[in-house]
Structure 1
Amino acid sequence: MSIKLIAIDVDQTLLNSNGQVLPSTVKAVQAALAANIKVVLCSGRPLAGVRPYLTQLGISGADQYVITFNGAVTESVAGTILAQSLINNPLYRELTAFSKAQRVPLNVLDWQSVIYTADRDVNWVMVQQAWENHAGLLIREPDELPTDFQIAKAVFTGEGAQLDAAEPRIRASFGNDLYIVRASTHFLEIMNARVNKGQALADLAHHLGFAPEDVLAIGDEQNDLPMFKVAGTAIAMGNGGAAAKRAADAVTGTNDADGVAQAIEKWALQAN
C-alpha cells in the first residue's frame, strides 16, 4: 500500500495544547511533500484560520488543497474553490430565531470567513473563535443582510454544560435538515446536510484519482469520524476522544508528544 494523500485535522491534532505546530510535525509534513504525498488540512476553520499553518508547513500552490468548514468548502491552497455546500437563507433565519428563543449563543460564517452574530452580548468563546480564525466579527440581524445571504457554517457556542443541555433540542429542531456535530466542548457546529469531512475527503480523493487505500487520515474528535470511514488508514491521536479511538485503525502519540509525526512516519513514509 502506498499513501498518496494525508488528511490532518487541525485543532488538538496538528496543533499541540498550546495551539502550536511542533517542529517534528513540520519535518514530517515536509518529508511527505518531498515524497509527492498530498498533505491536506481538514478543519472546521475557514481558510484564513488555517493559512498560517499552511505557510509554516510549506504547503502552497494551486496543486495543494485544504478542506475547511468541516467539509463545506474544498479549495486549493491558492484559493480556487473546488466545491462548496452552503446553508440557505431560510435555514439561517430559523437558526437565528431558535438561538434567540432558547438563549443559546450563535454565530455564522460566510464562505469568505466573516463571522456574523445577532447576539449583542458576545460571549468569550465567540471572541476567541474570531481571533483564532483571523476573522471579522459583525453584529447583524438577518434583515440587515442580503435576502440571498448564505452561510458555510453555524456555530452554537458557550460553556460545556450549556451546550450539553441545548444539544438535544437543537438536534430535534434541525437534525433532519442539517448536519450537526459537537466539534469540541464549546462548539456545536451546523452545516449543510451533505457536508462532513469524510464526504469532502472522498470527493477530493476522487478528483485526484486516488483510491481509499491511498488515503491516511489523522484526527481526534467526533467531526473526524466521517473521514476515518473513507480513509484506507485512520489514526487517532493519543489525546483524542474515545469515539475517535474506537473508530481508528490505530492510535498514535498525543498532540504534545509528536503524535502527527509518528503517524506520518509509520503509516505513510515507511509504508511507501
Structure 2
Amino acid sequence: MGIKLIAFDMDNTLLTSSETLLDSTKTAVSKALDKGIKVVICTGRPLAGVTPFLNELGIKGDDQYVITYNGAIIETASGKPLIKHLINKDEYNKLVEYGDRNDIQYYALDDNSNVYTGNRDISRVAVLQAWENNAGIFVRTPDELPDNFQAAKFDYVGEQDKLDQEEPILTKNFEDQFSVVREGTIFLAVMNQMASKGSGLRNLAKRLDLTPDQVMAFGDERNDISMFKYAGTSVCMENGTDEAKGFADYITGDHNHDGIFQALEKFVF
C-alpha cells in the first residue's frame, strides 16, 4: 500500500549537530509532501520549539500534524490540540519531591511551551530548553502553582554519570504510575502513563485510518524505540545509540550527512 506517513524525531535526526536542516532533508520532505505523504515531527520538544522548522519545511495547516512532548500531545501543525495526556498537580508534586529529596535537578513544560522549575540554582539544561522554545523560566515551588496546574512533560536533568546512577532506581519507583524514558545523556523524561512517541504515532495513524505498514519512523535515541516498535518501517540514524539501532529495520547515514535523504530515496521514492 506504500508509505502514507513519515514520522521524524528532531534532535540528532531531522536536525544536524548545529540544529539546522540539511538542504537534502528539505528536498526530501518537500518531495514527500508533494506525494501526499503526511510528514510528522515526533519530538520531546513543545510546539514552540518545533514551529520554526515546520515553517522551514512547509508543514502547515490543520491537515498536517505534530506529536510533541514525547507523545503527551498530538496537535495540528497550526496548534489545534487533538489528544492530550498530561501530568496533574498531585503527580507533579510527587515528582518534585523525589527530585528534591535525591538532589536531582528538574524542570517541567506545560502545554503552552512554558518552562517551570522549583530549583533556585537553575540547571543549564532548563535554561537551554527555555532558549530553544522562546520561553521564559518560571521559578515556582509547587505551593506557588495553582491547584489545576498540569505539566505535559517532566524532565530530571544532570550529568550522565548522575542520571546513569539514578535511572534504574527512579524507573523502578515510577514505572507503574508514569511513562519514564531516557531522552539522551542528560535528560530523563517522565510523562503521563499514556504518553510515548509510539502511542502518539499509533493514535495519530488510527485517526488517519492508517495501518502500521503505511508508517515509517526515523530516530536515534531510546525515546524513539516505541516508534520503531509500532512503525512498519523503522530507520535509525548512524549516529544513534546502539540500543535504538537494535530496534530499527534499517540504519541510514548520520544526521550531518544526508541520512534522511538516503533512506527516503531507498524506501519511498
- 2:106 and 2:123 in contact (8 A); partners too: no
- 1:72 and 1:196 in contact (8 A); partners too: yes
- 2:115 and 2:126 in contact (8 A); partners too: no
- 1:216 and 1:267 in contact (8 A); partners too: no
Question: What is the SS of the residue equivalent to 1:179?
Answer: strand
Matched residue, 1:32: 32
Following TM superposition, by how much is the alpha carbon of 1:265 offset from its aligned partner in structure 2, in angstroms?
1.8
Deviations 1:19-63, CA, capped at 9 Å, x for gaps: 111110000000000010000000000000011110111111110
* Separation in 2, partners of 1:218, 1:81: 23
Deviations 1:169-205, CA, capped at 9 Å, x for gaps: 2113212100110000010000011110111101101
Matched residue, 2:254: 254
Matched residue, 1:68: 68
Following TM superposition, by how much is the alpha carbon of 1:167 offset from its aligned partner in structure 2, in angstroms?
1.4
The answer to which of 111-120 and 172-181 deviates more is 172-181
Following TM superposition, by how much is the alpha carbon of 1:133 offset from its aligned partner in structure 2, in angstroms?
2.1
Following TM superposition, by how much is the alpha carbon of 1:135 offset from its aligned partner in structure 2, in angstroms?
2.1
- 2:115 and 2:136 in contact (8 A); partners too: yes
| Structure 1 residue identity aligned to 2:139 | I
| Structure 2 residue identity aligned to 1:154 | F
The answer to which of 141-150 and 28-37 deviates more is 141-150
* Separation in 2, partners of 1:24, 1:212: 26
Deviations 1:145-165, CA, capped at 9 Å, x for gaps: 111111101000111111112
Q: Does structure 1 residue 50 correspond to structure 2 residue 54?
A: no
Q: Does structure 1 residue 108 correspond to structure 2 residue 108?
A: yes
Q: Does structure 1 residue 158 correspond to structure 2 residue 158?
A: yes
Determine what percentage of the aligned residue pairs are the same residue: 48
- 1:88 and 1:150 in contact (8 A); partners too: yes
Matched residue, 2:125: 125
* Separation in 1, partners of 2:72, 2:267: 28
The answer to which of 156-165 and 22-31 deviates more is 156-165
Deviations 1:67-97, CA, capped at 9 Å, x for gaps: 0000000000011111010011111001111
State the TM-score, normalized to the length of structure 2. Answer: 0.98
Question: What is the SS of the residue equivalent to 2:50?
Answer: helix
Matched residue, 2:136: 136
Following TM superposition, by how much is the alpha carbon of 1:168 offset from its aligned partner in structure 2, in angstroms?
2.3
Deviations 1:91-141, CA, capped at 9 Å, x for gaps: 100111111111100111111111100000002121112111222211001
Matched residue, 1:82: 82
Q: CA RMSD in A?
A: 0.9
* Separation in 2, partners of 1:100, 1:226: 30
Where in structure 1 are there 5+ consecutive unaligned residues? none
* Separation in 2, partners of 1:163, 1:134: 26
State the TM-score, normalized to the length of structure 1. Answer: 0.97
Matched residue, 2:172: 172
Runs of 4+ in 1 over 3 A off after TM superposition: none
* Separation in 2, partners of 1:83, 1:53: 22
- 1:5 and 1:214 in contact (8 A); partners too: yes
* Separation in 2, partners of 1:168, 1:222: 14
Matched residue, 1:21: 21
- 1:48 and 1:134 in contact (8 A); partners too: yes
- 1:47 and 1:113 in contact (8 A); partners too: yes
